[in-house]
A = this chain, B = another copy of it.
Amino acid sequence: MALPAAAPAIVLVRPQLAENIGTAARAMLNCGLTDLRLVKPRCPFPDERANRAASGADAVLASARLFDDVESAIAGLTRVYATCPRDRDMVKPVLTPQAAIAATRAALGAGERVGFLFGAERTGLENDEVTLADAMVPFPVNPEFDSLNLAQAVLLVGWEWARAHDETPARRVRTGKGEAATKEEIDGFLKRLEAELDACGFLRNPAMRPAAVRNLRAFFLRARPNAQEIRTAHGMLTGLVERPHLAKAGKPRPGPRGREG
Interfacial chain B residues near A99, Cβ < 8 Å: 170-171
Q: Which residue of B lies closest to A93 (CB)?
A: B173
Measured CB to CB, the closest approach of chain B to A229, in angstroms, equals 7
Q: Is the CB of A226 within 8 A of B91?
A: yes
| Interface membership of A147, Cβ < 8 A | yes
Cβ of A88 under 8 Å from chain B: yes
Instruction: Note all chain B residues with C-beta closer than 8 A to A69.
Output: none
Is A177 close to B, CB under 8 A?
yes
How distant is A78 from chain B, measured CB to nearest CB, in Å?
15
Whole-angstrom distance between the alpha carbons of A169 and B99 in the complex?
A: 9
Which residues of B sit under 8 angstroms from A178, Cβ to Cβ?
91
B91 touches A229 (CB 8 A): yes
Chain B residues whose CB sits within 8 angstroms of the CB of A229 once the complex forms: 91
B90:A170 contact, CB within 8 angstroms: no
Q: Please, what's the 1-or-0 string for A83-94, where 1 marks a CB less than 8 Å from any CB in chain B? A: 000011111111
In A150-182, the 8 Å CB interface with B consists of 151-152, 155-156, 159, 162-163, 166, 168-178
- Which residues of the partner chain B approach A91 to less than 8 Å between Cβ atoms? 173-176, 178, 225-226, 229
Min CB gap A213→B, angstroms: 25
Tell me how far the C-beta of A9 lies from the nearest C-beta in chain B, rounded to whole angstroms.
17
A interface residue numbers (CB < 8 A to B): 1, 3, 23, 26-27, 29-32, 55-57, 87-96, 98-99, 102, 136, 140-143, 145-149, 151-152, 155-156, 159, 162-163, 166, 168-178, 225-226, 229
Known: A95-B171, A159-B159. 13 other contacts (CB 8 A): A1-B140, A3-B142, A29-B145, A32-B142, A56-B145, A56-B147, A87-B174, A94-B173, A96-B171, A99-B170, A136-B174, A149-B151, A152-B152
